[in-house]
């Protein structure tokens, strides 16, 4: 039996998502036992190593209003992306503020 202490993801680690241009999509990040830790969403654009901070907790930090955090009780920290386009393609990471951070990865493709 494998016991898990502290925050952990309830979903698989690597997920490929394909949407159509103009679609609204939700990237789910279900976390159990979050305790006093914080959830953040960050983005890596295709071919770029720099991280773009999108959300921390229930606050959105992107200047692009199409990105929003939507917390779905009891444990789903969903990133909403409205009107997806080719510029949104890339890697999205849901992170838990543990040391080292725990990360779940989404690869977004827009057709």
Is 2 inside any structural domain? no
> Residue 45's pLDDT is what?
76
* Angle (nearest 5°) at CA 48 between 43 and 54: 20
Is 83 inside any structural domain? yes
> Residue 3's pLDDT is what?
60
Is 18 inside any structural domain? yes
- How many folded domains does the chain comprise? 1
Residue 13: which CATH number? 2.60.40.10
* 21: helix, strand or coil: coil
Question: Residue 71: beta bridge partners?
Answer: 77
Torsion of CA 58, 10, 91, 101, to 10 degrees: 70
Is 50 inside any structural domain? yes
Q: Tell me the pTM.
A: 0.90
> At 106, phi and psi to the nearest 5?
-120, 135
Q: Print the domain residue range for 67.
A: 8-110
Is 1 inside any structural domain? no
Is 30 inside any structural domain? yes
Is 35 inside any structural domain? yes
Which segments in the chain show pLDDT lower than 50? none
Residue 100 CA to residue 4 CA, distance in Å, equals: 16
Q: Tokens in use for 110?
A: 């827009």
DSSP letter (8 states) at residue 30: B
> Residue 2's pLDDT is what?
58
């Amino acid at each position: 039996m494998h016991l898990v202490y502290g925050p952990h993801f309830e979903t698989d680690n690597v997920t490929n998502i394909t949407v159509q241009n103009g679609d609204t999509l939700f990237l789910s990040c279900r976390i159990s036992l979050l305790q006093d830790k914080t959830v953040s969403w960050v983005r890596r654009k295709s071919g770029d190593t720099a991280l773009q901070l999108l959300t921390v907790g229930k606050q959105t930090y992107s200047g692009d209003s199409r990105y929003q955090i939507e917390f779905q009780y009891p444990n789903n920290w969903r990133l909403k992306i409205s009107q997806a386009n080719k510029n949104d393609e890339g890697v999205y990471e849901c992170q838990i503020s543990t040391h080292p951070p725990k990360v779940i990865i989404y690869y977004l493709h827009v057709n």
